[in-house]
Amino acid sequence: MNKISKIAIIGLGQVGNYLYRELNLKQKDIQIKTGKKIQIIAISAKNKNKKRKFKINKKIFYKDPIKIIKEFKPDILFEVIGQSDGISKKVVETALKNKVHVITPNKALISKHGDYLGKLAEENNVNLEFEASVAGGIPILRTIKEGLSTNKISKVYGILNGTTNYILSEMRNSKDSFSNVLKKAQKLGYAEPINPKFDLNGLDAFAKVRILSSLAFNIKISNHKCLMEGIEKIELKDIEIANLLNLRIKLLGISEIIQNQLFETVHPCLVSKNSYIGNVSGVMNAVILQGKPVGESILQGEGAGPGPTSSSLLSDLYSILKGNIKKPFGISSSKRKSIKCYNVDNYSNSLYLRFEVKDKPGVLSRISNRLAKYNISVKRLIQTPDKKAKKATIVIITHKTTELNSKNCLLKFKRDKDILKYPTLIRIYN
C-alpha cells in the first residue's frame, strides 16, 4: 500500500454519508493508531445532488463506481449501497479482482455471495471485511474470528434485528397494536418507511444468522431452506398473555449444531422475563455464544444506525491499514466445509398455542382430544371467556413436541368451524 491510502466510498445514503464525515474527522486518530494516512479520493451514489445531512465534496463525486475502481485505483473501497446482487455485487467483484480491499456492511450480499467473494479476495490477496453486516456496532465477527477463535462453538443465537425488538418492546410498554407501533417505529427511523418487510418477516435476521454460522462453525454459508418466521402475526393479546405467564416475546435468530448437522432458524420465542435475553429491549442487539472452553459469552450493543455501523466499518479499515491480510472467514476458503442441514421437522420445543373459539360446549374437549391424538401433552391451560361476544380465548402451553407433529396437528383445526382463526403458535425458548 502507498504511504497515503486512497479510499473510495460507493453509496452515500445514511450510512455512507455518516462514514464520509467520520473518515474526514478521524484522519489524525487513524494516523496515530495505524501509522497510515488516508485520503478519500472518490465517492459515488445514485444522486449527486440529493439533500444529505453532511456536506460532500462534489469535486470527487463520480457517477460510475466501476470507473472509480479502474481509473483511480483506490486502495480500499467501501461498498455501502446494500443490494444483494446488481450493482453492489458488481462493485465488490470488480474491486477485489483489481486488488482493492473491500469493506461492506452489506449482509444481503455477504449472506448470498460471501463464499464466492471471499474466495476472490483470497485469490487476489486483499481483504474483504464485513464486521458491520451483523449486529451493527457489536464487533461480533472479529470476536469469533479472533477473540474466541480457539473455541469450539456449539451454538450462537440472539436478537439480531433492532426494528423487531423495538416493536415488540414498545407494544409491551405502550399496550398498542402492532400496526400502530410499526408506524411509530417508522417515524422514529427504526423501521424502513416504505418497505419494512425484510425486517419484520425475519429475512434480515436470517442473513445475519447465516454469516454467524459460517464463522462460528467454519463452514460454507448455507443455503438450506430453514424455519423462518417474522413478528407480523404477533398480537398485543399474545404479549399481554406472555406477561401474565412471566414471559416475554423476542424474535431470536438461532444457529446450532445438532447431531453434527446445521440448524439455522429465525422465529419469535417466548423467553423468561428474568432471563438475560428477556431484558434486552428497544433497538438493542445481543449475541450469545456457547463455546468450549470459554463457556457462555454475551455481547450486547446498539444494532443499527449510522453511528454503530460506522464504528464497525472503521474497525475494518483500521485492521486493513495495520497491514493485516486476513482470510475473510477466518480460515482459508478451501478448509471451509459444507454441512448437512438438520431436518426442521425434528426441531422440538414447548409451544404456546392460542385458540380463539366460539364459547360453546365441546370445543375445548375437541382441542384437547386432537392434541392427545398427536401425543402433544398439555402443561398448562388458560381459558378466558368473552361472554358478550360468545367467544373464548384458550391458551395452551404444551410439553416439548416436534415441528412435524405440531404442524400436522394444527392443520386439523382448519376445518373446525368453532375455531375462529388459525391457532397462533409461539415456540418457548429455554
Residues at the contact surface with its own copies, assessed by CB under 8 A: 18, 22, 26, 29, 32-33, 35, 131, 137-139, 142-143, 146-151, 218, 274, 276, 279, 286, 291-302, 306-308, 310-312, 314-315, 317-319, 322, 324, 326, 330-332, 335
16 versus 137: smaller Cβ distance to its own copies: 137
Stretch (H or E) spanning 426: strand 424-428
- Tell me whether residue 41 or residue 317 sits nearer to its own copies (CB atom): 317
**357 CB-contact burial (10 Å; exposed 0-12 / middle 13-18 / buried 19+):** buried
Contact by Cβ (8 Å): 391, 350 = no
Euclidean distance between CA atoms 29 and 4, whole angstroms: 14
Smallest Cα–Cα separation from 76: which of 48, 46, 112, 41?
Answer: 41
- Residue 201: CB partners within 8 Å, gap ≥ 6? 228, 229, 230, 232
331 or 372: whose CB is closer to its own copies? 331
Q: Is 26 a catalytic residue?
A: no
The three three-digit cell numbers of residue 225, written as one number = 431452506
CB of 147 to its own copies, least distance (A): 3
Of 269 and 286, nearer to its own copies (C-beta) is: 286
Residues with Cβ within 8 Å of 81's Cβ and at least 6 positions away in sequence, in order, are 10, 11, 13, 87, 88, 91, 106
134: DSSP letter? S
Close Cβ partners of 55 (under 8 Å, ≥ 6 residues apart): none
CB of 92 to its own copies, least distance (A): 22
Q: Report the SS3 class of residue 81.
A: coil
Distance of CA 201 to the CA centre of its chain: 11
Q: How far is the CB of 413 from its own copies (least distance, A)?
A: 39
Burial of residue 21, with CB atoms counted within 10 A of its CB: 0-12 exposed, 13-18 middle, 19 or more buried? middle
Nearer to its own copies, 93 or 146 (CB): 146
In this complex, which beta carbon is closest to its own copies, that of residue 151 or of residue 348?
A: 151
User: Residue 8: what are its φ and ψ, rounded to 5°?
Assistant: -125, 140
Q: How far is the CB of 130 from its own copies (least distance, A)?
A: 13
Number of H helices, E strands in the chain: 14, 16
Q: Mutual orientation of helices 86-97 and 107-123 as an angle, nearest 10°?
A: 20
Report yes or no: 252 and 280 within 8 Å, Cβ to Cβ.
no
**CB of 210 within 8 A of CB of 111?**
yes
Q: How far, in Å, CA of 90 to CA of 200, rounded?
A: 28
Nearer to its own copies, 143 or 348 (CB): 143
Rounded CA gap, 240 and 261, in Å? 36
Q: Which of 184, 208, 250, 337 is catalytic?
A: 208
Contact 75, 6 (CB under 8 A): yes
Residue 129 vs 403, nearer CB to its own copies: 129
Q: Which residues are catalytic?
A: 208
